[in-house]
Structure 1
């Protein structure tokens, strides 16, 4: 059974999520502080996390950082923090989706289902191994391993944030193809973005700086009036 960890100190929200998610047949773990969330993740099989930011003991930002150190489990941030800076920070920390309270429960369920399509919990070992191989790209002098959330240049690790790794992986996999900002939001962030596309530009610029800093032969080019593409030198 697919299991979801819900981390929120608002008991009314928890009851609402419980009603809708149990109706979809999911197994739920409900906790109300960051420390308890980490305890569940260490001891239970969890396929997805729904995470608030303003939590007792350990806040949601710190919980997210700790999760990403040990797991690539999908994280949906569910919070009343609706500033653009909060959303950008969430995606930089590796959040897969960001929903602002108050929210429509049916939309949340739809987003949960979309995220769980990528969960490999029910694959056989052979198929999981095959999938793991497809999640590693070796192109030019760069390797991106999505199983470990690592990027390496000639064997040396490049310090990238989770969302930067996801963006690099997508651009490498689709090298020489031009993508608009909206397409990158859909393909990498995977959500219907409400607002401007500044977050794409921020991540592209940071990724460029880090790749140039290690003398990578990958180059992210701006196609003026359209978007971005990744090219390989040499």
Structure 2
């Protein structure tokens, strides 16, 4: 089955070169020269299998575009940008991007990241065992429940909107509840073996996940930071 990509890039030459290179790799490509037209495409035809987004797009920048996409879609998003400042990387990930590649790049790097993102879709980590409900927080009024069968996370009767990356992070931590997982271990399990990205990606996604599942994200009780080692999920606190 052909993988469909949407490239959002305002430089015509860069967009054309990326389109041709990815088509040579077997991808089906749609293009948008700005964020506004990209969002219209998503509204009309639904999300593709992945988005490739530049940050410098004109009236609506890439950060805003990603946030708008994340309102309705869990589609994997890779940022490809000449901006390599730490602040920009973290800001893009916090907006909802799954990965970040700096220009100049080799097309093999882009395709490797795309393959890793696609492999995250199936199976989810919780599928290694029989589907079950995991009670991550025993709050009497609104317990936090991870259902590996349905692939959902609920706080009481409310289903929480987690991205695929956040869901897989939570599954991996829950599978190893009570044990510390290093950032590198989480990178390899969630972002795929052989991933060569920055460990800051883990910290940013953990921070975003906490805002959705913790009763008080400033004082996390479910996902605990173990200084110098990594993260540990504590059940039933």
Please give the range of the TM-score, normalised by the shorter of the 2 chains: 0.7 to 0.9
2:108 aligned residue (92, 106, 110): 106
3-state secondary structure, aligned to 1:21: helix
Say if 2:93 and 2:205, in contact at 8 Å, map to a contact too: no
Q: CA deviation at 1:206?
A: 6.8
Q: CA deviation at 1:116?
A: 2.4
Alignment of 1:33-48 (within 5 A): 33-45=34-46, 46-48=48-50
1:211 aligned residue (210, 214, 233): 214
Give me the whole-angstrom Cα distance separating, in 2, the residues matched to 1:51 and 1:182. Answer: 26
Count residues with an aligned counterpart: 220
Give me the whole-angstrom Cα distance separating, in 2, the residues matched to 1:169 and 1:145. Answer: 10
Could you report, residue by residue, the CA deviation over 1:112-145 in whole angstroms, capped at 9, with x for unpaired residues? 222223457xxxxxx9xxx8xx999542421347
Which residue of structure 1 lines up, in the alignment, with residue 196 of structure 2? 192
1:179 aligned residue (181, 186, 195): 181
TM-score by length of 2: 0.74
Long gaps (5+) in structure 1? 121-126
The yes-or-no answer on 1:30 pairing with 2:34 is no
1:168 aligned residue (150, 167, 170): 170
2:70 aligned residue (68, 71, 75): 68
Give me the whole-angstrom Cα distance separating, in 2, the residues matched to 1:78 and 1:53. Answer: 8
Alignment of 1:106-145 (within 5 A): 106-119=108-121, 138-140=134-136, 141-144=143-146
The yes-or-no answer on 1:230 pairing with 2:222 is no
TM-score by length of 1: 0.75
The CA RMSD measured in Å over matched residues stands at 3.7
Which residue of structure 2 lines up, in the alignment, with residue 78 of structure 1? 80
Could you report, residue by residue, the CA deviation over 1:67-116 in whole angstroms, capped at 9, with x for unpaired residues? 11111111010111111121112222221110011111121122222222
Higher mean C-alpha displacement, 18-27 vs 164-173: 164-173
3-state secondary structure, aligned to 1:213: coil
Give me the whole-angstrom Cα distance separating, in 2, the residues matched to 1:150 and 1:105. Answer: 34
Long gaps (5+) in structure 2? 137-142
